[in-house]
Structure 1
Amino acid sequence: MSLSTAHRTVGSADDPAWFRHVLGQYPTGVCVITAQPEDGPPIGMVVGSFSSVSLNPPLVGFYPSVTSETWPHLQRAGNWCVNILAAHQTDVCRRIATAPLAERFDGVPWRPAPSGAPIIDGAVAWIDCVPVAVHDAGDHKIALAEVRHLDTASTELPLLFFRSGYGSFAPLTLTAYDPEMRLTRPLRHFELIRSIAQELPDHGLRCLVTAPVSDSVVVVGQLDPPSATPSAQPTTLVGQRLPFRPHGPSIFEAWAPEREQEAWVARFAPDSQEAEIRALARIRERGFSIGLGSEGHRRFAAALERLAAEPGAVGNEELDALVASLDYEPPELSDEVLAQARVISAPVFDNEGNPVLALTVFGFKARPDVVRAAIAAVTACAGRATSSLGS
């Protein structure tokens, strides 16, 4: 034990300021509990003490102060809607927290939930519920509600409250959300190999984990090194669907059955088909795919940045055209060629030998030694990930 630790005065739990200070080290989300009275304007109350309580039955809870002026109005309501605010909605949070009760929704767009309670436009998610119990808990109440309807409403990151301030967070690892249950298998694969893939950010490499889904490549996970600028606005491509089109990366087709490969090659123009056959062979021989820097790559990277900041900002036709302009699988990997490398992808196989995920690293310096190290890191990780899936 250090001297500073041994002689530190431990604060008392009876000191409210110290209690708030210590508990303030734990970040919480920011929610607005809304209701629509039969005889008046909608009401809302900001809470940071919201949580899920039970799956069966589906219960949620929050903890209003006994001195809250809004709580008695909410308690009389027959339905509540929990709105999980997005990172950009601090103005909504402050208005509902400070405006007079009857004016809190002035200028705040909303639509009714199935119960009629307000769903605030731009909220990350909403949970429509029915009050079932209220219990005493010191200077607060424990309010429980049974969930009737719920949905996600935005791909934005949530608003957080931490150390008496509002903000968001810079995600180092994210997983795609799958409300329609179309990504169950790829997401399970990602969860199984996540700890292995996390080694790539430890090498300073940014990594996207993608999976083929129908006619798209879906970003199911993102792993980033700690940001040098943590205050920067966090962005993510997780959940983004990218076109699986010629002349894009063929990492998933290189090990596909022969008939599927033939169908893939047939999608190319006749004068490009032989080159694509050779490109697929290079990927199989090398065990990875490599993309080079070019004007097309720079435009594609810029489009991805736009998509990360604002999902839907780039249309499918524009993405198709950008994918077609990319430069992949050079015949030789000389130092001169490696100095142009921008992305490297390695496949992860399932227990039947099918490529089900790709680990794609980028953001490395375009130097031959750095690129070789990146190739070694991503192929080694992909190999261990394949073993973890039982292949």
Structure 2
Amino acid sequence: MSTETPLDPQHFRRVMGHYPTGVVLATALDQQGDPIGMVVGSFTSVSLDPPLVAYLPTKSSGTYARMRHATHLVFNVLSADQTDLCRRFASRAVTDKWTGVAWHPSANGLPILDEAVAWIEGEVQQVIDAGDHDLVFLRVQDLAAPNDTLPLVFFQGGYGRFSPRSLVMPPGQDMFAQLRLAERARPVLESLGEETNLESGLLGQIGSDLVLLASAAPLDAEVLPQSLGNRLPFIPPSGSVFVAWAGEAAADHWLSLAPTPLDDALRAHLRQNLERVRERGYSIVLESSQHAAIDRDSAALSADRLTPAGHRRLQTAIAALADSYEPETLPADARVRVLTVPVRDSAGRVVIGLQLRNLPAGLTQAAIDTLAQRMQTLALRVSETCMGAD
């Protein structure tokens, strides 16, 4: 007979802590009808047909003792911004845990947290003894994901947030080189802003992102300037100034980045946009009602707080604005959101874009051309004075 060596509970806990888990607040009503809540890291989806979930409460938990009788529970998926609320419900020192907590009742009257990422309501189906825990299965009756934000994650005894690796811009030599260039070009950028009394900027294309490398804005600007480091996905129709002179292979690759397949008409329209950029020597984007939502998602992307679903929404919103990019004629009531001219390196490749942003309404095509010509002169100065320096 073999004798198993007992595991050290602390060692077991420490090793298992290397597996990150989401965090939910399981809520119910006690026998007096008052709300109760218990922080749970062992919640899981079990089955699609029938729809089942499960959680594993500790048998010795005082909150679980009050919750054990409940036939229905709600599992609130906590957001990364709800760390304090999580600690509050996990603390034995806090007696009135619901004071100031915003919630509304489910169909069964159970607390749904207003700021939760998602919630799942279920009816208890089975309870199985599982050592010092119970394994509780519930059949899902209702669920929703009302808040598109990042979830709270528990890892090695601490709380944090999930950052999708595919959405995080990795540091690299391209980024550092463009930041050095932006710093050298700053005097030209500031000169452009002072001369035009408009917000100016330097745009870089780094990997799969368009990044605002530098900006300057007058004190009396009508709108807040874009934040440094602001990012947008490099997908058509955006970023055309980096593609227009780069050849057919680059154009084909850019078109392949569209979030949904392009039909022949839209593909031809986008190629015509590139030709207009080449002919004019600049890129122009008109203001749209959709840009407010795009700006919100762009800010979240830049702060690494945009969810994968939010990233897909951002890509779709950008792709839908093909008519706002490189218009053939300038509508009388149009407002130019961004005017961009290319800045080239010694080999003639476009490496950054010099921009004016949020131009006043009512500008004529002739006025836009005049601004662009002045910007092209300054872009040439940037190329001549900065590209040769190391």
TM-score by length of structure 2 reads 0.52
Q: Hey, what's the Cα distance between the residues in 1 that align with 2:335 and 2:5? A: 61
Secondary structure of 1:170's aligned partner: coil
Deviates more, 1:143-152 or 1:164-173: 164-173
Match of 1:34 in 2: 27
**2:236–2:255 CA contact under 8 A, matched in 1:** no
Q: In the alignment, what sits opposite 1:325?
A: 338
What is the aligned partner in structure 2 of residue 348 from structure 1?
Answer: none
Structure 1 residue 45 corresponds to structure 2 residue 57: no
| Residue 278 of structure 1: how far off its partner (Å) | 2.2
* Deviation, structure 1 residue 100: 6.9
| Structure-to-structure mapping, 1:76-155, within 5 angstroms | 76-98=69-91, 103-155=96-148
2:361 counterpart residue number: none
Give the one of 10, 24, 33 matched to 1:17: 10
Cα distance change on mapping 1:334 and 1:54 into 2, 3 Å: same
Deviation at 1:114, TM superposition (A): 2.3
Residue 351 of structure 2, aligned match among 324, 339, 348: 339
Q: 1:151 to 1:70 in 2, by over 3 A?
A: same
Opposite residue 130 of structure 2, the aligned amino acid is: A
Task: Report the Cα offset of residue 327 of structure 1.
Answer: 2.7
Q: Indicate how the Cα distance of structure 1 residues 26 and 325 shifts in structure 2: closer, same or farther if over 3 A, else same.
A: same
CA contact (8 A) 1:245 1:324 kept: no
Q: 1:331 to 1:42 in 2, by over 3 A?
A: closer
Change (3 A) 1:277 1:83: closer
Alignment CA distance shift 1:152-1:23 (3 Å)? same
Distance 1:257 1:247 in 2: 19
Check if 1:278 corresponds to 2:257.
Answer: no
- Name the structure 1 match of 2:328: none
For 1:340, what is the secondary structure of its paired residue? Answer: strand
- Displacement of 1:149 in angstroms is 0.9
Say if 1:291 and 1:341, in contact at 8 Å, map to a contact too. Answer: no
Q: CA deviation at 1:340?
A: 2.2
Q: Once superposed, what is the RMSD of the aligned Cα atoms?
A: 5.2
Cα-to-partner distance string for 1:49-76 (whole Å, 9 max, x where unaligned): 1111111111111111110111122221
Shift of 1:134: 0.7
1:68 pairs with 2:65? no
Tell me: CA distance 1:104–1:223, structure 2 relative to 1, closer, same or farther (3 Å). farther
- Is the CA contact 1:246–1:323 (under 8 Å) kept in the aligned structure 2? no
| Shift in Å, 1:39 | 2.7
**3-state DSSP of counterpart to 1:146:** strand
1:327 maps to a residue whose letter is T
SS in 1 for 2:80: coil
Long gaps (5+) in structure 1? 1-10, 176-199, 207-221, 225-234, 266-273, 283-289, 343-365, 372-391
Give the percent of matched residue pairs that are identical in Structure 1 and Structure 2: 34
Match of 1:172 among 165, 168, 190: 165
1:191-206 pair list within 5 angstroms: none
**How far apart, CA to CA, are the structure 1 residues paired with 2:39 and 2:125?**
20
Change (3 A) 1:137 1:101: farther
Q: What SS class does the counterpart of residue 49 from structure 1 fall into?
A: coil
Q: After superposition, what is the alpha-carbon deviation per residue over 1:210-259, rounded to whole angstroms, capped at 9, x for unaligned?
A: xxxxxxxxxxxx979xxxxxxxxxx9989x9x997999999659996675
Q: CA deviation at 1:105?
A: 1.2
Q: Point out where structure 2 has 5 or more consecutive residues left out of the alignment.
A: 176-206, 210-228, 244-250, 311-316, 325-333, 355-381
What is the DSSP-based 3-state SS (H/G/I as helix, E as strand, rest coil) of the residue aligned with 1:81? strand
CA deviation vs aligned residue, 1:278-311 (integer Å, no higher than 9, x gap): 23889xxxxxxx99899x9xx9998765243477
